[in-house]
Structure 1
Amino acid sequence: MDFVEVRVLAPRELADILVAELAEVGYSTFEDNDEGFCAYIDEDQFAADAVTEIMSRYEGQGELGYEHRVITRQNWNAEWEKNFEPLVIAEKVSVRAPFHEARPDLQYEIVIMPRMSFGTGHHDTTALMIANQLDVDHQGKRVLDMGCGTGILAIMAVHLGASYVLAVDVEPWTAENAADNALENNVQDKVEARLGDITALEGEAPFDIILANINRNVLLDDMGAYGQYLKSGCPILFSGFYEEDLALIRAAAEQNGLRYGSHRTQNHWVSAIFYQA
């Protein structure tokens, strides 16, 4: 299935509110830009009237507007090839496409072919998650990557020593892309890509580490399950939400037996580490 990109023009003080509003009607992925942000939704779930109605609530509070387009599989490939530049995270991790030159001077390298999946490291949440991963002991650990996108966090986990990573996503092409990227990075024997949501974990033993870079609403909806699938004393890394949502995420996590550890911020986005009590 193709998806729709909604490019929103909005001042910074309204962008966060509009992201939350769009998340309520099904938008699951957001990317900031200099003029506002882009929001993404499956084509069959897109309703222009719903976006117009949300925007109308904030008339008179700054320059507002939006436009949308359908992005097909073929067009997406062209888009990311045109815009995907090599990236360095925390001065240790190189993230590049197969057509970029390698960086042997850096400690870790991840090669990503995004296709129709999200998560190249260019978005603040992915970069924040990787920075937090660098501070977590993965050696010999069994890891869960929920909402895996391209599989970049799963691949990073193996580079950091994880013995097994279950990478789960709700989109069929995303699960396929994660598996392909695992192969591209020679970690296919340690990464299992699985299609599904939190219910796909039924019967799984608790994990040593959970990575969940999704969005605020999904994190809140699934918070009760995370504790069930995380070993006592072990870390869970969250991202996909703004600074002003951290208190909400923290309250929900603590209500479900998770203890706050630390967090990082970048351009108003957050990645936080919690621990199973």
Structure 2
Amino acid sequence: MDYIELTVQAPRELAEILVAELGEVGFDTFEDNDAGFCAYTTEDAFDRDAVAEIMSRYEGIGELAFSDRIITRQNWNAEWEKNFQPLIIAERVSVRAPFHPKPAGLEYDIEIMPRMSFGTGHHETTALMIENQLDIDHQGKRVLDMGCGTGILAIMAEKLGARQVLAVDVEPWTVENARDNAAENHCRTIGCRLGGAETLADEAPFDLILANINRNVLLEDMHEYARLLPSGNPILFSGFYEEDLAKITAEATRQGLRYERHRTLRSWVSAIFTKL
């Protein structure tokens, strides 16, 4: 199955509204750019009429334009090899493709080949999650990475000392990619699973949960994450904008999670909560 990339040109204040609207019609990954943003969904979930209807509601509010294209699995590696640049996060973590040289003088080095998955560290939410991970004790912990994408957060968790990591995603090629990236980074504690929160019914508790997905999925599945987290343990959320933090916090409070702190980058958020 291939992806649909929707390219939207819109002013910032309108772009944030459109991201929320598109999240209701199947788009679950968003990447900002100078002109607006790109949104991604699978080809089978793409409804061109629904997108056109959303866009028509906002005609005349600033300069608005949009187009879509198919990104095939065959073309994905070539696209990333052309555009993917090495990244340094918090002056401590290198994120690079296997064809980039390893930088010197950093604590952690992660190799990522995205293929058909998202989450290389270049998106604000992934970088923010890694920064928050650096502040959390992973040593000897059992960790859940929900919406694992490329597996970068799971790999970071093992490098920070986790004893066991479960990486979960709803897309088959994403799980395959996460598994390959874990092997590329010589990880031994990471298991990869296809599915969503429904696959966690028989799981034992986790010491730390990482959930970088999107606002709607976080709100829908937060009760399941909270159930799997013992009292006093942290959970990291991302995949939403600053204006959504109040909704995330309100639902977290209902589920017995206490807000601790959050980071922001270009209006994206990664927040830390603790189970009461």
TM-score by length of 2: 0.99
Specify the SS of the correspondent of 2:116: coil
Which residue number corresponds to residue 217 of structure 1?
216
Q: How does 1:45-124 map to 2 (within 5 A)?
A: 45-124=45-124
The aligned residue for residue 135 of structure 1 is 135
Offset at residue 191 of structure 1 (A): 0.2
Q: Deviations over 1:218-237 (max 9, x none)?
A: 00000111110111110000
1-structure distance, mates of 2:59, 2:178: 41
Give, in whole Å, the separation in 2 of the partners of 1:26 and 1:259: 30
Tell me, in whole angstroms, the C-alpha distance in 2 between the residues paired with 1:196 and 1:82: 31
- Residue of structure 2 in register with 1:235 after alignment: 234
Write the distance in 2 (CA, Å) between the matches of 1:159 and 1:103: 17
Tell me if structure 1 keeps the 8 A contact 2:25–2:47.
Answer: no
User: Take 2:167 and 2:242, find their aligned partners in 1: how far apart are those partners?
Assistant: 26
1:233-263 CA distance string (max 9 Å, x none): 1000000000000000000000110000000
- 2:194 is aligned to 195
> Structure 2 counterpart of 1:108, which letter?
Y
- Report the secondary structure of 1:136's partner residue: coil
User: C-alpha distance in 1, partners of 2:198/2:222?
Assistant: 13
Tell me the residue number matched to 2:178.
178
What code does the residue aligned with 2:20 have? A
Aligned equivalents of 2:172, 2:225: Cα separation in 1: 22
Letter in 2 for 1:181: N
Q: Please report how far the alpha carbon of residue 104 of structure 1 lies from its aligned counterpart in structure 2 after TM superposition.
A: 2.7
Shift of 1:75: 1.1
Per-residue deviation, 1:200: 1.0
Q: Distance in 2 between matches of 1:153 and 1:78?
A: 24
Deviation at 1:76, TM superposition (A): 1.1
In structure 2, the gaps of 5 or more residues are none
Q: Which amino acid aligns with 1:202?
A: A
CA distance in 2, matches of 1:118, 1:248: 25
**Mapped contact 2:5–2:69 kept (Cα < 8 A):** yes
Instruction: Determine the C-alpha separation between the residues in 2 that align with 1:243 and 1:196.
Output: 28
Secondary structure of residue in 2 paired with 1:52: helix
C-alpha separation between the residues in 2 aligned to 1:211 and 1:47? 30
CA apart distance, 1:46: 1.0
How far is the alpha carbon of 1:114 from its aligned partner?
A: 0.5
The whole-number CA distance in structure 1 between the counterparts of 2:223 and 2:56 is 35
In structure 1, stretches of 5+ residues that fail to align are none
- Root-mean-square deviation over aligned CA pairs: 0.6
- CA deviations on 1:154-211 (whole Å, 9 max, x unpaired) are 0000010000100000000000110100000000x20000001001112111100000
Letter in 1 for 2:207: D
Aligned-residue identity in percent: 71
Q: Which runs of 4+ in 1 moved over 6 A?
A: none
Q: Which amino acid aligns with 2:219?
A: L
Alpha-carbon deviations, 1:117-172, whole Å to 9, x = none? 00000000000000000000000000000000000000000010000100000000
- The amino acid of 1:210's aligned partner reads I
The TM-score with structure 1 as length reference comes to 0.99
Tell me the distance in 2 between the aligned counterparts of 1:252 and 1:27: 22
Give the 3-state SS of the residue equivalent to 2:262 in structure 1.
Answer: strand
In structure 2, the residue matched to 1:262 is: 261
Q: Aligned residue for 1:205?
A: 204
